[in-house]
Structure 1
Amino acid sequence: MAARTEVAPAPDAFRRAVQELMSASWRPELVVDEMPAPQRISPFAAAVTAEVVVGGEEIGSGRLVLLHDPAGNAAWEGTFRCVTFSRADVDPEMVTDPLLARVGWSWLLDALAAHGAEYGAPSGTVTSVASESFGGMAEEEPRAEIEVRASWTPQLVAGTGLSAHLAAWAELLCTTAGLPPLPAGVVPMPSRRHPPSRSPRGR
Protein backbone atom coordinates (compact mmCIF):
# COMPACT_ATOMS: atom_id res chain seq x y z
CA MET A 1 0.00 0.00 0.00
CA ALA A 2 1.42 3.38 -1.01
CA ALA A 3 2.32 5.79 1.76
CA ARG A 4 0.04 8.79 2.16
CA THR A 5 1.53 12.17 1.33
CA GLU A 6 0.77 14.78 3.95
CA VAL A 7 -0.18 18.21 2.64
CA ALA A 8 1.44 21.00 4.60
CA PRO A 9 -0.96 23.63 5.91
CA ALA A 10 -0.81 27.02 4.22
CA PRO A 11 1.43 29.51 6.03
CA ASP A 12 -0.29 32.44 7.74
CA ALA A 13 1.32 34.92 5.32
CA PHE A 14 -0.15 33.11 2.33
CA ARG A 15 -3.56 32.82 3.98
CA ARG A 16 -3.61 36.57 4.61
CA ALA A 17 -2.62 37.32 1.00
CA VAL A 18 -5.32 34.99 -0.34
CA GLN A 19 -7.89 36.63 1.92
CA GLU A 20 -7.06 40.00 0.31
CA LEU A 21 -7.35 38.42 -3.13
CA MET A 22 -10.69 36.77 -2.49
CA SER A 23 -12.29 39.77 -0.77
CA ALA A 24 -11.05 42.43 -3.21
CA SER A 25 -13.34 45.07 -4.74
CA TRP A 26 -13.24 45.38 -8.52
CA ARG A 27 -14.26 47.87 -11.18
CA PRO A 28 -17.84 47.35 -12.39
CA GLU A 29 -16.55 46.32 -15.83
CA LEU A 30 -14.68 43.34 -14.35
CA VAL A 31 -16.24 39.94 -13.74
CA VAL A 32 -13.75 38.12 -11.51
CA ASP A 33 -13.96 34.50 -10.35
CA GLU A 34 -11.73 32.09 -8.52
CA MET A 35 -10.08 29.42 -10.69
CA PRO A 36 -7.94 26.34 -9.99
CA ALA A 37 -4.34 27.39 -9.37
CA PRO A 38 -1.32 25.67 -10.94
CA GLN A 39 0.08 23.12 -8.50
CA ARG A 40 3.63 22.53 -9.72
CA ILE A 41 5.09 26.02 -9.91
CA SER A 42 5.32 26.69 -6.18
CA PRO A 43 4.29 25.03 -2.91
CA PHE A 44 1.26 27.32 -2.55
CA ALA A 45 -0.83 29.11 -5.17
CA ALA A 46 -4.17 30.82 -5.70
CA ALA A 47 -5.67 32.21 -8.89
CA VAL A 48 -8.50 34.26 -10.33
CA THR A 49 -9.74 34.83 -13.85
CA ALA A 50 -11.37 37.99 -15.17
CA GLU A 51 -13.45 39.20 -18.08
CA VAL A 52 -13.75 42.85 -19.07
CA VAL A 53 -17.41 43.34 -20.00
CA VAL A 54 -18.97 46.53 -21.37
CA GLY A 55 -22.56 46.66 -22.58
CA GLY A 56 -22.88 42.91 -22.20
CA GLU A 57 -19.93 42.31 -24.53
CA GLU A 58 -16.58 40.86 -23.48
CA ILE A 59 -13.81 43.15 -24.70
CA GLY A 60 -10.88 41.66 -22.81
CA SER A 61 -9.85 38.93 -20.42
CA GLY A 62 -7.05 37.85 -18.14
CA ARG A 63 -5.97 35.91 -15.11
CA LEU A 64 -3.81 36.43 -12.05
CA VAL A 65 -1.91 33.74 -10.19
CA LEU A 66 -0.44 34.36 -6.73
CA LEU A 67 2.49 32.09 -5.93
CA HIS A 68 4.16 31.58 -2.57
CA ASP A 69 7.30 29.70 -1.59
CA PRO A 70 8.08 30.15 2.12
CA ALA A 71 11.70 29.12 1.46
CA GLY A 72 12.15 31.93 -1.04
CA ASN A 73 12.96 31.79 -4.71
CA ALA A 74 16.15 33.26 -6.16
CA ALA A 75 14.52 34.12 -9.48
CA TRP A 76 11.66 35.93 -7.71
CA GLU A 77 13.94 37.70 -5.24
CA GLY A 78 11.30 37.04 -2.61
CA THR A 79 8.71 34.56 -1.34
CA PHE A 80 5.66 35.77 -3.30
CA ARG A 81 5.15 36.18 -7.05
CA CYS A 82 2.29 37.62 -9.11
CA VAL A 83 1.88 36.13 -12.58
CA THR A 84 -0.60 37.67 -15.00
CA PHE A 85 -1.99 37.27 -18.48
CA SER A 86 -4.09 39.97 -20.15
CA ARG A 87 -5.48 40.11 -23.68
CA ALA A 88 -7.86 42.25 -25.72
CA ASP A 89 -8.78 42.98 -29.32
CA VAL A 90 -7.29 46.14 -30.81
CA ASP A 91 -7.58 48.01 -34.10
CA PRO A 92 -5.55 46.17 -36.78
CA GLU A 93 -3.68 49.41 -37.51
CA MET A 94 -2.25 49.40 -33.98
CA VAL A 95 -0.39 46.13 -34.57
CA THR A 96 1.86 47.84 -37.13
CA ASP A 97 3.01 50.41 -34.55
CA PRO A 98 6.61 49.51 -33.60
CA LEU A 99 6.09 51.10 -30.18
CA LEU A 100 3.03 49.03 -29.27
CA ALA A 101 5.01 46.43 -27.30
CA ARG A 102 6.81 49.07 -25.25
CA VAL A 103 3.54 50.88 -24.61
CA GLY A 104 1.88 47.63 -23.56
CA TRP A 105 4.66 46.95 -21.05
CA SER A 106 4.37 50.48 -19.70
CA TRP A 107 0.69 49.84 -18.89
CA LEU A 108 1.77 47.40 -16.18
CA LEU A 109 4.56 49.54 -14.73
CA ASP A 110 2.40 52.68 -14.79
CA ALA A 111 -0.47 50.85 -13.06
CA LEU A 112 1.82 49.54 -10.31
CA ALA A 113 3.25 53.02 -9.78
CA ALA A 114 -0.17 54.70 -9.83
CA HIS A 115 -1.43 52.45 -7.02
CA GLY A 116 1.71 52.63 -4.92
CA ALA A 117 2.41 48.92 -5.30
CA GLU A 118 5.99 48.15 -4.25
CA TYR A 119 7.55 45.35 -6.27
CA GLY A 120 10.73 43.84 -7.60
CA ALA A 121 12.10 41.65 -10.40
CA PRO A 122 9.47 42.47 -13.08
CA SER A 123 9.58 40.44 -16.29
CA GLY A 124 7.28 39.65 -19.17
CA THR A 125 6.41 39.80 -22.84
CA VAL A 126 4.00 41.81 -24.97
CA THR A 127 2.71 40.15 -28.13
CA SER A 128 0.54 41.63 -30.87
CA VAL A 129 -1.02 39.53 -33.62
CA ALA A 130 -3.09 40.45 -36.69
CA SER A 131 -5.14 38.03 -38.77
CA GLU A 132 -7.03 38.39 -42.04
CA SER A 133 -9.39 35.80 -43.55
CA PHE A 134 -9.46 34.59 -47.14
CA GLY A 135 -11.42 32.29 -49.43
CA GLY A 136 -14.64 31.05 -47.86
CA MET A 137 -13.93 33.22 -44.80
CA ALA A 138 -13.10 36.39 -46.71
CA GLU A 139 -16.19 38.20 -45.43
CA GLU A 140 -14.92 38.11 -41.86
CA GLU A 141 -13.42 41.34 -40.57
CA PRO A 142 -9.65 41.52 -39.99
CA ARG A 143 -8.79 40.94 -36.33
CA ALA A 144 -5.91 41.97 -34.13
CA GLU A 145 -5.14 41.47 -30.48
CA ILE A 146 -2.55 42.39 -27.90
CA GLU A 147 -1.44 40.06 -25.14
CA VAL A 148 0.54 41.03 -22.04
CA ARG A 149 2.18 38.28 -20.00
CA ALA A 150 4.05 39.47 -16.94
CA SER A 151 5.22 38.61 -13.46
CA TRP A 152 6.59 40.59 -10.55
CA THR A 153 7.42 40.14 -6.87
CA PRO A 154 5.03 42.05 -4.60
CA GLN A 155 6.69 43.49 -1.51
CA LEU A 156 4.30 42.22 1.14
CA VAL A 157 4.61 42.47 4.93
CA ALA A 158 3.68 39.14 6.54
CA GLY A 159 1.37 38.54 3.59
CA THR A 160 -0.43 41.90 3.73
CA GLY A 161 -0.34 44.67 1.15
CA LEU A 162 -1.61 42.79 -1.90
CA SER A 163 -4.55 45.16 -2.48
CA ALA A 164 -2.42 47.73 -4.31
CA HIS A 165 -1.19 45.02 -6.69
CA LEU A 166 -4.75 43.83 -7.32
CA ALA A 167 -5.81 47.38 -8.18
CA ALA A 168 -2.86 47.66 -10.56
CA TRP A 169 -3.77 44.34 -12.19
CA ALA A 170 -7.37 45.49 -12.65
CA GLU A 171 -6.12 48.69 -14.27
CA LEU A 172 -3.86 46.69 -16.59
CA LEU A 173 -6.81 44.59 -17.75
CA CYS A 174 -8.96 47.64 -18.41
CA THR A 175 -6.19 49.60 -20.11
CA THR A 176 -5.42 46.65 -22.39
CA ALA A 177 -9.11 46.58 -23.30
CA GLY A 178 -9.08 50.32 -24.06
CA LEU A 179 -10.82 51.62 -20.92
CA PRO A 180 -9.49 54.67 -19.09
CA PRO A 181 -8.42 54.52 -15.42
CA LEU A 182 -11.11 55.19 -12.82
CA PRO A 183 -11.35 58.90 -11.97
CA ALA A 184 -9.92 59.88 -8.59
CA GLY A 185 -12.44 59.38 -5.80
CA VAL A 186 -14.51 56.75 -7.61
CA VAL A 187 -14.94 53.65 -5.46
CA PRO A 188 -14.94 50.21 -7.16
CA MET A 189 -17.94 47.94 -6.71
CA PRO A 190 -17.67 45.27 -4.00
CA SER A 191 -16.78 41.81 -5.20
CA ARG A 192 -19.64 39.34 -5.64
CA ARG A 193 -17.41 36.43 -4.73
CA HIS A 194 -17.02 35.02 -1.23
CA PRO A 195 -13.84 33.78 0.44
CA PRO A 196 -13.39 30.02 0.27
CA SER A 197 -14.81 28.14 3.23
CA ARG A 198 -11.60 26.23 3.78
CA SER A 199 -8.02 27.38 3.88
CA PRO A 200 -6.06 27.16 0.62
CA ARG A 201 -3.43 24.49 0.52
CA GLY A 202 -0.47 23.71 -1.62
CA ARG A 203 -0.10 20.60 -3.69
Structure 2
Amino acid sequence: MHTRTLPGNHGADFAKVLTALRDVRVRSDVRLTEVPAPTRIAPYAAALTADVVDPADPEGELATGRFVLLHDPAGPDTWSGTWRVVTFARAALEPELAGDPMLSAVGWSWLTDSLKGRALTWTAEAGTVTRVVSESFGGLADRAASVEMEIRASWTPLRGALTEHLRAWADLLCTIAGIPPLPDGVVPLPGQRR
Protein backbone atom coordinates (compact mmCIF):
# COMPACT_ATOMS: atom_id res chain seq x y z
CA MET A 1 0.00 0.00 0.00
CA HIS A 2 1.29 3.42 -0.77
CA THR A 3 0.70 5.59 2.25
CA ARG A 4 1.25 9.00 3.64
CA THR A 5 1.83 8.98 7.38
CA LEU A 6 2.77 11.28 10.22
CA PRO A 7 5.03 10.41 13.18
CA GLY A 8 3.61 9.35 16.54
CA ASN A 9 1.55 6.52 18.00
CA HIS A 10 -1.13 6.98 15.38
CA GLY A 11 1.46 6.14 12.75
CA ALA A 12 2.28 2.90 14.58
CA ASP A 13 -1.42 2.00 14.79
CA PHE A 14 -1.87 2.73 11.11
CA ALA A 15 1.26 0.69 10.25
CA LYS A 16 -0.28 -2.35 12.00
CA VAL A 17 -3.49 -1.98 10.04
CA LEU A 18 -1.50 -1.51 6.85
CA THR A 19 0.43 -4.74 7.47
CA ALA A 20 -2.85 -6.57 8.06
CA LEU A 21 -4.32 -5.18 4.81
CA ARG A 22 -1.24 -6.33 2.90
CA ASP A 23 -1.74 -9.85 4.28
CA VAL A 24 -5.45 -10.09 3.41
CA ARG A 25 -6.39 -13.06 1.27
CA VAL A 26 -9.50 -12.78 -0.88
CA ARG A 27 -11.04 -15.06 -3.48
CA SER A 28 -8.67 -16.25 -6.18
CA ASP A 29 -10.71 -14.49 -8.86
CA VAL A 30 -10.12 -11.09 -7.20
CA ARG A 31 -6.74 -9.54 -7.97
CA LEU A 32 -5.67 -6.83 -5.52
CA THR A 33 -3.03 -4.27 -6.46
CA GLU A 34 -1.44 -1.53 -4.37
CA VAL A 35 -1.85 1.97 -5.77
CA PRO A 36 -0.90 5.45 -4.59
CA ALA A 37 -3.19 6.70 -1.82
CA PRO A 38 -4.83 10.12 -1.87
CA THR A 39 -2.63 12.67 -0.12
CA ARG A 40 -4.96 15.47 0.92
CA ILE A 41 -7.97 13.78 2.48
CA ALA A 42 -6.51 12.44 5.74
CA PRO A 43 -3.17 12.26 7.54
CA TYR A 44 -2.99 8.49 6.94
CA ALA A 45 -4.19 6.73 3.80
CA ALA A 46 -3.80 3.45 1.93
CA ALA A 47 -5.32 2.37 -1.38
CA LEU A 48 -5.91 -0.78 -3.39
CA THR A 49 -7.50 -1.52 -6.70
CA ALA A 50 -9.10 -4.82 -7.56
CA ASP A 51 -10.17 -6.61 -10.70
CA VAL A 52 -12.50 -9.57 -10.70
CA VAL A 53 -11.33 -11.94 -13.42
CA ASP A 54 -13.56 -14.29 -15.35
CA PRO A 55 -12.91 -17.85 -14.08
CA ALA A 56 -13.42 -19.11 -17.64
CA ASP A 57 -11.02 -16.50 -19.08
CA PRO A 58 -8.32 -15.23 -16.68
CA GLU A 59 -7.62 -12.33 -19.06
CA GLY A 60 -11.27 -11.24 -18.96
CA GLU A 61 -12.30 -8.62 -16.40
CA LEU A 62 -15.81 -8.82 -14.92
CA ALA A 63 -15.60 -5.97 -12.41
CA THR A 64 -13.12 -3.40 -11.18
CA GLY A 65 -12.86 -1.05 -8.26
CA ARG A 66 -10.85 0.90 -5.73
CA PHE A 67 -10.68 0.62 -1.92
CA VAL A 68 -9.23 3.47 0.12
CA LEU A 69 -8.73 3.38 3.87
CA LEU A 70 -8.33 6.75 5.59
CA HIS A 71 -7.35 7.49 9.18
CA ASP A 72 -7.61 10.87 10.84
CA PRO A 73 -7.00 10.85 14.61
CA ALA A 74 -8.92 14.15 14.83
CA GLY A 75 -12.13 12.32 13.84
CA PRO A 76 -13.78 14.64 11.30
CA ASP A 77 -17.42 15.36 12.21
CA THR A 78 -18.74 13.97 8.94
CA TRP A 79 -16.99 10.63 9.58
CA SER A 80 -18.35 10.03 13.10
CA GLY A 81 -15.08 8.24 13.84
CA THR A 82 -11.36 8.21 13.07
CA TRP A 83 -11.35 5.63 10.23
CA ARG A 84 -13.11 5.94 6.88
CA VAL A 85 -13.49 3.53 3.99
CA VAL A 86 -14.03 5.05 0.53
CA THR A 87 -14.83 2.69 -2.34
CA PHE A 88 -15.70 2.49 -5.99
CA ALA A 89 -16.96 -0.60 -7.84
CA ARG A 90 -17.96 -1.00 -11.50
CA ALA A 91 -19.20 -3.89 -13.64
CA ALA A 92 -21.07 -4.52 -16.86
CA LEU A 93 -24.58 -5.90 -16.44
CA GLU A 94 -27.04 -7.64 -18.71
CA PRO A 95 -28.67 -5.09 -21.09
CA GLU A 96 -32.20 -6.07 -20.01
CA LEU A 97 -31.47 -4.55 -16.58
CA ALA A 98 -31.15 -1.04 -18.06
CA GLY A 99 -34.78 -0.14 -17.45
CA ASP A 100 -35.19 -1.80 -14.05
CA PRO A 101 -36.35 0.96 -11.67
CA MET A 102 -35.02 -1.01 -8.67
CA LEU A 103 -31.49 -1.45 -10.02
CA SER A 104 -29.94 1.34 -7.95
CA ALA A 105 -31.61 0.19 -4.73
CA VAL A 106 -30.47 -3.37 -5.42
CA GLY A 107 -26.91 -2.16 -6.02
CA TRP A 108 -26.87 -0.36 -2.66
CA SER A 109 -28.31 -3.44 -0.93
CA TRP A 110 -25.48 -5.52 -2.41
CA LEU A 111 -23.05 -3.24 -0.59
CA THR A 112 -24.85 -3.38 2.75
CA ASP A 113 -25.44 -7.13 2.41
CA SER A 114 -21.70 -7.62 1.82
CA LEU A 115 -20.93 -5.77 5.05
CA LYS A 116 -23.65 -7.59 7.01
CA GLY A 117 -22.46 -10.90 5.60
CA ARG A 118 -19.17 -10.38 7.44
CA ALA A 119 -20.98 -9.33 10.65
CA LEU A 120 -19.64 -5.77 10.36
CA THR A 121 -21.20 -2.60 11.66
CA TRP A 122 -20.69 0.90 10.31
CA THR A 123 -22.06 4.42 10.44
CA ALA A 124 -22.15 7.62 8.39
CA GLU A 125 -22.55 5.72 5.14
CA ALA A 126 -22.94 7.74 1.97
CA GLY A 127 -22.82 6.97 -1.70
CA THR A 128 -24.35 6.71 -5.11
CA VAL A 129 -25.33 3.94 -7.46
CA THR A 130 -25.18 4.92 -11.12
CA ARG A 131 -26.22 2.98 -14.16
CA VAL A 132 -24.72 3.89 -17.49
CA VAL A 133 -26.60 2.75 -20.59
CA SER A 134 -24.76 3.00 -23.89
CA GLU A 135 -26.65 2.64 -27.17
CA SER A 136 -24.98 2.94 -30.54
CA PHE A 137 -26.31 4.65 -33.66
CA GLY A 138 -25.37 5.31 -37.27
CA GLY A 139 -22.24 3.42 -38.31
CA LEU A 140 -22.14 1.77 -34.87
CA ALA A 141 -25.81 0.70 -34.82
CA ASP A 142 -24.89 -2.98 -35.05
CA ARG A 143 -23.34 -2.87 -31.55
CA ALA A 144 -25.52 -4.19 -28.77
CA ALA A 145 -26.55 -1.85 -25.98
CA SER A 146 -24.40 -2.09 -22.87
CA VAL A 147 -25.16 -1.38 -19.22
CA GLU A 148 -22.67 -0.65 -16.46
CA MET A 149 -23.31 -0.20 -12.76
CA GLU A 150 -21.07 1.99 -10.62
CA ILE A 151 -21.28 1.98 -6.84
CA ARG A 152 -19.43 4.76 -5.04
CA ALA A 153 -19.66 4.52 -1.27
CA SER A 154 -17.99 5.53 1.95
CA TRP A 155 -18.60 4.50 5.54
CA THR A 156 -17.04 4.61 8.99
CA PRO A 157 -16.25 1.14 10.37
CA LEU A 158 -17.55 0.56 13.91
CA ARG A 159 -17.09 -3.14 14.56
CA GLY A 160 -14.98 -5.74 12.86
CA ALA A 161 -11.39 -5.76 11.72
CA LEU A 162 -10.60 -3.26 8.98
CA THR A 163 -9.38 -6.22 6.92
CA GLU A 164 -12.93 -7.59 7.03
CA HIS A 165 -14.19 -4.36 5.48
CA LEU A 166 -11.76 -4.98 2.61
CA ARG A 167 -13.06 -8.55 2.28
CA ALA A 168 -16.66 -7.30 2.31
CA TRP A 169 -15.82 -4.87 -0.49
CA ALA A 170 -14.24 -7.74 -2.46
CA ASP A 171 -17.50 -9.66 -1.91
CA LEU A 172 -19.40 -6.70 -3.37
CA LEU A 173 -17.16 -6.73 -6.45
CA CYS A 174 -17.89 -10.41 -6.98
CA THR A 175 -21.62 -9.82 -6.56
CA ILE A 176 -21.77 -7.08 -9.19
CA ALA A 177 -19.58 -9.23 -11.44
CA GLY A 178 -22.21 -11.97 -11.25
CA ILE A 179 -20.03 -14.43 -9.36
CA PRO A 180 -21.89 -16.29 -6.60
CA PRO A 181 -20.67 -15.76 -3.04
CA LEU A 182 -18.48 -18.42 -1.44
CA PRO A 183 -17.71 -19.09 2.20
CA ASP A 184 -14.13 -18.29 3.27
CA GLY A 185 -11.72 -21.07 2.36
CA VAL A 186 -13.85 -22.46 -0.48
CA VAL A 187 -12.21 -22.40 -3.91
CA PRO A 188 -14.47 -21.56 -6.88
CA LEU A 189 -14.75 -24.07 -9.69
CA PRO A 190 -14.49 -22.77 -13.25
CA GLY A 191 -17.88 -22.32 -14.79
CA GLN A 192 -20.28 -19.99 -16.50
CA ARG A 193 -21.15 -16.59 -15.20
CA ARG A 194 -24.68 -16.38 -13.81
TM-score when normalising by structure 1 = 0.83
The residue correspondences of 1:62-141 to structure 2 (distance < 5 A) are 62-141=65-144
Runs of 4+ in 1 over 6 A off after TM superposition: none
Residue type at the aligned position of 1:154: P
* Unmatched runs of 5 consecutive residues or more in structure 2: 189-194
> 1:60 & 1:184 partners in 2: Cα distance?
20
Look up the match of 1:11.
Answer: 11
Deviation of 1:185 after TM superposition, in Å, equals 5.3
Name stretches of at least 5 consecutive residues in structure 1 with no aligned partner: 1-6, 189-203
The reply to whether residue 148 of structure 1 matches residue 151 of structure 2 is yes
Aligned sequence identity (%): 51
Would the aligned equivalents of 2:28 and 2:187 in 1 still touch at CA under 8 Å? no
Could you say which structure has the greater relative contact order, defined with CA pairs below 8 angstroms and 6 or more residues apart?
1
Instruction: Work out the CA distance in 1 between the residues paired with 2:184 and 2:22.
Output: 24
Deviations 1:100-144 (A, max 9, x none): 111100011111111012211111100011111111212222111
> In the aligned structure 2, how far is the partner of 1:153 from the partner of 1:76?
6
Residue type at the aligned position of 1:175: T
Q: For residues 167 and 25 of structure 2, what CA distance do their matches in structure 1 show?
A: 9
Q: For the residues of structure 2 that align with 1:183 and 1:116, how far apart are their CA atoms?
A: 13
**Cα deviations across residues 15-54 of structure 1 (Å, max 9, x unaligned)?**
1221121110010111110000110111111000000101
Equivalenced residues, count: 179
Residues 39-91 of structure 1: per-residue CA shift (max 9 Å, x gap) = 01111110000001012210110010000101111100000000000000001
TM-score, with length taken from structure 2: 0.87
1:149-181: CA deviation from partner (whole Å, max 9, x where unpaired): 00011126xxx8112211111100000111111
